Structure 1
Amino acid sequence: MDQAKDMKVTFRCLPELEAILPRPIPAVQGLPPWFKTMAQKAFSETADTEVMTIKKCPPVVDAMVYGFFIPLVADLRVENGEFSWEREVPATAVSKFSGSPIDFHDGAQVEGSPFFEDDRFVIKFNNFWTIETPPGYSLLFTHPLNRVDLPFTTISGLVDTDLFPDNLVNFPARWHDESFNGVLPKGTPVAQCIPVKRELWSSHIEPMTPDQARKLSDTTTALAQQTGVYRRNFRAQKR
């Protein structure tokens, strides 16, 4: 069997919650409206010509559609810095189980970092799925890539989900938009999880050979003179 077709991330929830939980989705299904509606070209006054936008940049697109999104489990209302929600959660057999969509970290836990602010907590998006990856694979949990439009910033973490498949991984985040008043809708992606194969890496630094310098020149020229060079010749299949 082709390995790419055999790789699987398994999400599991308590049976009592299956009917009410929004499910994790492939990131390709969660592109934001602004990305879907933006134009592929825009006029550059500096260059006095049309240029391609990031919508036509394969590395940007590949980053945004790779992996899976974990969604917010309930509408989250924010009014003058206060959070509230309405959510009925059935009783479960698991002790110390919180049904709230968010929790908080004490600010002291990030003191000394850029996430720290006086008299402010770090919120935590609660996750209701255990997650299991194949042997040797971890998951990088990070803020949904290129989603600077969201009023929060999820703090990144790498979890060995092949060895830690029986507990819940929650997502601390800094709520950076103090002016936000309104509702963050249920289903909003709060974390992007990207499979990472654990391997030991070292670095090696050396000057280019004449042949490598020639290839750099040829590739740079092709990219400047044609569109779609990277997509046609260098982009790997990812889904």
Structure 2
Amino acid sequence: MRIVFRCDPHLADYLQRPMPARGILPDWLRSMPAKAFSEVHGREIRTVKQCPPFVDAMAHGFVIPLPCDVSVENGVFSWDWRIPEPATRGHPRAPLSFHVPEQLVGAPFADGQAALKFNSFWTIELEEGWSLLAVHPINRDDLPFRLITGLVDSDRFHDGGINFPAVWTDRAFNGVLPRGTPVAQCLIVPREQPDLVFEQLEGPAKTAYESTVAEVLAQPGIYRKRFRAKRRRSSAE
């Protein structure tokens, strides 16, 4: 899969590039202990730091970084980002804009508030037949906002930037959202819908199920050792 990112030439030296998600895992995950004592089990058990599906989900795809520091004070957003006038007409200069509350009427996550819009400073071009699924950075409930998920056919729509709407969830937050904060995690998905096939566990499938479950219960790390695919690093890492 080849993904092409383009930015305004006047801003190239001012922007952080989209980056592989594995390169921006949060500090809380890195500092999490590998094991913790469980009162229920009466012994130490492995934490999610040792759960490959949990970590691999957080490390999958690429993230869009916030291009500058954004200060938040009593619900007011501000920034001091001095960049040149873009060479491209209609190109944004502000890191944020907003959707009025009426655009989210009836949405259970909006709670009557306006939505932020993280403006895009990169266009994204995918190969034919693929779409871009933008989600909230996975397992990142520590961030004071919640991205609104969107799917864009970026093999066709790639001449303009994709903006990323979000709802601000931590209304008590006062401080700085630092430059480089991941505002969206992007996953590349095939546009063609799969065929759903339903079968019963019988014969070899039943035998394989019983054997696999027994192995998983008998010793830790079976998924990681036998089933987890090796991740190829991208050229951006």
TM bin (shorter chain) = over 0.9
AA in 1 matched with 2:227: F
List aligned pairs for 1:61-140, cutoff 5 A.
61-118=55-112, 120-140=113-133
Paired-residue identity, %: 48
How many residues matched? 232
1:127 offset after TM fit, Å? 1.2
List aligned pairs for 1:136-147, cutoff 5 A.
136-147=129-140
SS in 2 for 1:29: helix
Q: Does 1:208 align with 2:201?
A: yes
Say what the alpha-carbon RMSD is for the aligned residues. 1.1
List aligned pairs for 1:54-65, cutoff 5 A.
54-65=48-59
1:9 offset after TM fit, Å? 1.2
1:98 offset after TM fit, Å? 2.1
In structure 1, the residue matched to 2:235 is none
AA in 2 matched with 1:74: C
SS in 2 for 1:61: helix
Residue number among 207, 214, 218 corresponding to 1:225 in the alignment? 218
CA distance in 1, matches of 2:203, 2:44: 35
CA distance in 2, matches of 1:10, 1:45: 50
AA in 2 matched with 1:33: D
SS in 1 for 2:93: coil
1:91 offset after TM fit, Å? 1.0
CA distance in 2, matches of 1:53, 1:124: 35
CA distance in 1, matches of 2:46, 2:209: 22
What per-residue deviation string (whole Å, max 9, x for no partner) do you get for residues 38-57 of structure 1?
A: 11111111011111111111
CA distance in 1, matches of 2:111, 2:83: 32
CA distance in 2, matches of 1:216, 1:49: 28
In structure 2, the residue matched to 1:161 is 154
Q: Does 1:25 align with 2:19?
A: yes
1:214 offset after TM fit, Å? 2.2
CA distance in 1, matches of 2:197, 2:17: 42
Cα pair 2:58 2:139 within 8 Å, conserved? yes
AA in 1 matched with 2:150: G
SS in 2 for 1:222: helix
AA in 2 matched with 1:185: P
Structure 2 gaps, min length 5: 233-237
What per-residue deviation string (whole Å, max 9, x for no partner) do you get for residues 126-176 of structure 1?
A: 110000111221111111000010000011111111111111001000100
In structure 2, the residue matched to 1:13 is 7
Cα pair 2:19 2:63 within 8 Å, conserved? yes
Residue number among 189, 199, 205 corresponding to 1:196 in the alignment? 189
Structure 1 gaps, min length 5: 1-6
TM-score, structure 2 as length reference: 0.94
In structure 2, the residue matched to 1:4 is none
TM-score, structure 1 as length reference: 0.94
1:26 offset after TM fit, Å? 0.6
What per-residue deviation string (whole Å, max 9, x for no partner) do you get for residues 82-126 of structure 1?
A: 1111111211232232211111001111111112223x2100101
CA distance in 1, matches of 2:144, 2:210: 42
Cα pair 2:92 2:121 within 8 Å, conserved? no
AA in 2 matched with 1:29: G
